[in-house]
């Protein structure tokens, strides 16, 4: 059983203590947050990233009787437990396993979506999305266009864990969002937290276009926060300003946002071994941190507005810098903000090598992001 309590005033420390006293990792605490002077209260959960994804799928299945969830080991709960208990709750006719064939899973989902079902397909790792690339790019994304609107795969959502995990290597740690950037008719979403994961996944499932929903697996159990228990959505193609600033824009998505936050703290309070590389004049710099959230189509206006204000930008992603999402964003900024820029667009990303087992060296850690901030601010 999940630990449950009712409180009239929210206490984060009490919440965490009660979580620790339970034998459940997923931190299922329910709080009634009573608002004095108002006639309503809100119901929320403290849950992990992976459970937020599970809950979003449960809401989708409950609200839409045509919805189905399927993939490798999905009925079992999934390799990361993102579908835990869904088969028992909604039946194995709606939550079921598939053969180990990514192109088959996506092709099956396209057919289901075209026949009117809401299809949520899970690919066990984003690294294995490439066998399904033709199905996604030439079928799902183009189906509506090539049929003149007669057919559509718009009710298809493809979930897949992505990004580094600590030891995944070539086949379990890649970032793949850049491979879908030039594909019209497709949307690509990457959440950074449980709240974002639930709201954005429900929006993706209900969007009239096929969506690739990429989940940073390193956050599955390390990211925990309050999430509304009820069904709710967050807008797609809408970037979020996480921290407002005036001197430089720091743009990222998914797991690297946490490294960006560390870099911001290091800029403000550089420790031993770093202080000599951070001029005193930069330590009060106001960094504007933005979560892109939807990679395709991305929120151009929000980014342009921020860069026109700060006149500098550092873009961070785990995928290689060459032909990465940052390259497309940088090109657009050059077109729209050229006369306002005080420094070249800076990109911090993975190296141009296959993804190694030594992930800490490959991915953009806080020190590398800090270096990009310092170089851009002092240009």
Active-site positions?
Answer: 102, 172
Residue 254: count other Cβ atoms within 10 Å of its Cβ: 27
Question: Please, what sign has the CA dihedral across residues 86, 88, 94, 97?
Answer: positive
CA angle 178–184–186, rounded 5-degree value: 70
Q: From CA 280, how far away is CA 269, in angstroms rounded?
A: 10
Per the document, the length of the chain is 379
Which H or E run contains 262? helix 256-268
Q: From CA 146, how far away is CA 163, in angstroms rounded?
A: 33
Listed in sequence order, the residues at least 6 apart from 50 whose beta carbon sits closer than 8 Å to its beta carbon are 26, 80, 81, 82, 220, 221
Phi, psi (deg, nearest 5) at residue 377? -70, -25
Listed in sequence order, the residues at least 6 apart from 268 whose beta carbon sits closer than 8 Å to its beta carbon are 283, 284
Q: From CA 206, how far away is CA 234, in angstroms rounded?
A: 11
Q: From CA 141, how far away is CA 153, in angstroms rounded?
A: 7
Would you call 228 exposed, middle or buried from its count of C-beta atoms within 10 A (0-12, 13-18, 19+)?
Answer: middle
Q: From CA 178, how far away is CA 320, in angstroms rounded?
A: 9
Q: From CA 290, how far away is CA 297, in angstroms rounded?
A: 16
Give whole-number Cα distances, 236 to 12, 196, 206, 213, 261, in Å.
30, 11, 11, 11, 23
Structure tokens at 114: 């075209």
Instruction: Give residue for tokens 């006639």.
Output: 39
Structure tokens at 36: 């004095």
Phi, psi (deg, nearest 5) at residue 321? -65, -40
């Amino acid at each position: 059983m999940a630990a449950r309590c009712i409180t009239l005033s929210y206490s984060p420390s009490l919440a965490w203590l009660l979580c620790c006293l339970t034998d459940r990792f997923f931190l299922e605490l329910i709080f009634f947050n009573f608002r004095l002077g108002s006639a309503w209260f809100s119901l929320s959960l403290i849950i992990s990233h992976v459970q937020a994804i599970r809950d979003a799928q449960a809401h989708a299945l409950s609200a839409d009787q045509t919805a189905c969830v399927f993939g490798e080991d999905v009925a079992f709960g999934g390799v990361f437990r993102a579908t835990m208990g869904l088969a028992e709750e909604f039946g194995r006719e709606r939550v079921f396993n598939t053969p180990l064939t990514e192109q088959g899973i996506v092709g099956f989902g396209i057919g289901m979506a075209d026949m009117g079902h809401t299809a949520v397909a899970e690919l066990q790792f984003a690294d294995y999305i490439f066998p399904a690339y033709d199905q996604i790019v030439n079928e799902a994304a183009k189906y509506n266009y090539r049929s003149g609107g007669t057919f559509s795969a718009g009710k298809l959502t493809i979930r897949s864990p992505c990004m580094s995990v600590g030891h995944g290597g070539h086949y379990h740690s890649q970032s793949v969002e850049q491979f879908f950037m030039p594909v019209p008719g497709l949307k690509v979403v990457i959440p950074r937290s449980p709240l974002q994961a639930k709201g954005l996944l429900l929006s993706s499932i209900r969007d009239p276009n096929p969506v690739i929903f990429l989940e940073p697996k390193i956050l599955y159990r390390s990211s925990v926060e309050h999430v509304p228990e009820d069904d709710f959505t967050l807008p797609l193609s809408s970037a979020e300003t996480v921290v407002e600033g005036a001197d430089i824009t720091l743009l990222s998505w998914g797991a690297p946002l946490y490294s960006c936050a560390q870099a911001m703290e290091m800029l403000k309070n550089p420790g031993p071994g770093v202080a000599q590389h951070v001029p005193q004049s930069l330590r009060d710099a106001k960094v504007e941190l933005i979560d892109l959230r939807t990679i395709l189509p991305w929120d151009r206006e929000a980014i342009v507005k921020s860069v026109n204000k700060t006149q500098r930008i550092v873009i961070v992603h785990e995928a290689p810098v060459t032909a990465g999402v940052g390259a497309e964003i940088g090109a657009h900024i050059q077109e729209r903000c050229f006369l306002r820029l005080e420094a070249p667009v800076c990109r911090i990303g993975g190296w141009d090598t296959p993804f190694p087992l030594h992930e800490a060296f490959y991915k953009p850690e806080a020190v590398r992001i800090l270096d990009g901030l310092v170089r851009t601010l002092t240009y």
